[in-house]
């Protein structure tokens, strides 16, 4: 094929309420990101899920439990878009990360 074609692209976000327990959100994030082969068996698109690309393109703040998982994996790119949010300093101090 030698020409461009129009295509639609989407992103799946897992969303929860901020009052969900940190430990529960952490375990859900960990399960989703560490069991992609099982997810891919049910949904082919899940093969694209990795801890690194899971943080890209979110327009909403991450749950503290998810942030804890990403911190443990050394993934910091999910914090940058939040710096303009006035709750950023509080969030970072609660999870023990530098601002």
List the structure tokens of 44: 């082919």
Residue in 98, 71, 99 with CA at minimum distance from that of residue 85: 99
Confidence of residue 69 (pLDDT cuts 50, 70, 90): very high
Confidence of residue 28 (pLDDT cuts 50, 70, 90): very high
- Residue 78 confidence (pLDDT) above 80: no
Residue 9, pLDDT score: 62
Q: How far apart are CA 9 and CA 42, in angstroms?
A: 20
Q: How far apart are CA 80 and CA 44, in angstroms?
A: 30
Q: What mean pLDDT do residues 29-39 have? A: 91
Say whether pTM exceeds 0.85: no
């Amino acid at each position: 094929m030698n020409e461009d074609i129009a295509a639609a692209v989407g992103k799946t976000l897992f969303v929860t309420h901020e009052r969900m327990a940190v430990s529960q959100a952490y375990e859900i994030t960990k399960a989703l990101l560490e069991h992609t082969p099982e997810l891919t068996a049910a949904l082919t698109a899940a093969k694209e899920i990795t801890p690194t690309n899971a943080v890209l393109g979110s327009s909403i703040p991450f749950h503290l439990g998810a942030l804890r998982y990403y911190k443990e994996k050394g993934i910091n790119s999910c914090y940058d878009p939040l710096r303009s949010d006035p709750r950023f300093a509080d969030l970072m101090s609660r999870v023990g990360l530098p601002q």
